[in-house]
Amino acid sequence: MQSHHLTTLYSVIRCRHCLRKPSLLKIPIYEPKGERPKVSELYDNSKTLELIKEIEETKLPAELKQFLKLAAERHTKFHFRNIAEFYAHTDDEVKELFEQSALVIIDWDKAIENGFIKMTDRLGQIADEEGFNEV
C-alpha cells in the first residue's frame, strides 16, 4: 500500500501565508494504518438528522424546508483520519471524487483548479480576523 501526501483544511488555514508558496506548506505523509473503515465510520450525521426531522415536522413551505435541510448538512462531522484511511484503500474513481470534494488534498494544482485554495484563503482571512491564527 502506498503513502499519500494529505493535508486538512485546518493545516492550510494555519499556514495561510503558504497558500501562494505551496513549497512552504509541509503536507503530512499519510501511512495507511489498518483496514478500510466502513463508510458509516467516515462521518457523524446525528445532529443533521435531528435537525432534518424537526424541519420535516413543521408546516413551513417546501422551498424553505429544502433550504433549511441543506443548511442542516453543515452539522455533519467528518472523521478525517478515517477518511484518509478509506482513501488509501479505495479505487481511483472514488479517490478522484474525494479529491474533488476536498476530503483529501493530494495534488496542490488540482486543489487550486477545484477552487479549494481560494476558499481556504478566505477562511484563513476570517481566522486571522477572529484571532485563530495567533501563535
| Residue whose cell numbers read 491564527 | 133
Specify the pLDDT at position 28.
59
Instruction: Quote the CA–CA distance of 49 and 72 in Å, as a whole number.
Output: 8
Specify the pLDDT at position 114.
65
Tell me the per-residue pLDDT of 16-34, one tens digit each, with 9 for 90 and over: 444 444 444 555 566 778 8
Closest to 85 (Cα-Cα) out of 104, 70, 66: 104
Tell me the per-residue pLDDT of 73-106, one tens digit each, with 9 for 90 and over: 999 999 988 998 999 899 999 998 998 888 887 7
Task: Show Cβ contacts of residue 19 under 8 Å, excluding neighbours closer than 6 positions.
Answer: 12, 25, 117, 120, 121, 124
Lowest mean pLDDT among 16-20, 36-40, 94-98, 130-134: 16-20
SS (H, E, C) the chain: CCCEECCCHHHHHHCHHHCCCHHHCCCCEECCCCCCCCHHHCEECHHHHHHHHHHHCCCCCHHHHHHHHHHHHHHCEECHHHHHHHHHCCCHHHHHHHHHCCCCCCCHHHHHHCCHHHHHHHHHHHHHHHCCCCC
Beta-carbon-side half-sphere exposure of residue 20 (alpha carbons within 13 Å): 1
Instruction: Quote the CA–CA distance of 133 and 10 in Å, as a whole number.
Output: 10
pLDDT at 119 exceeding the cut of 60: no
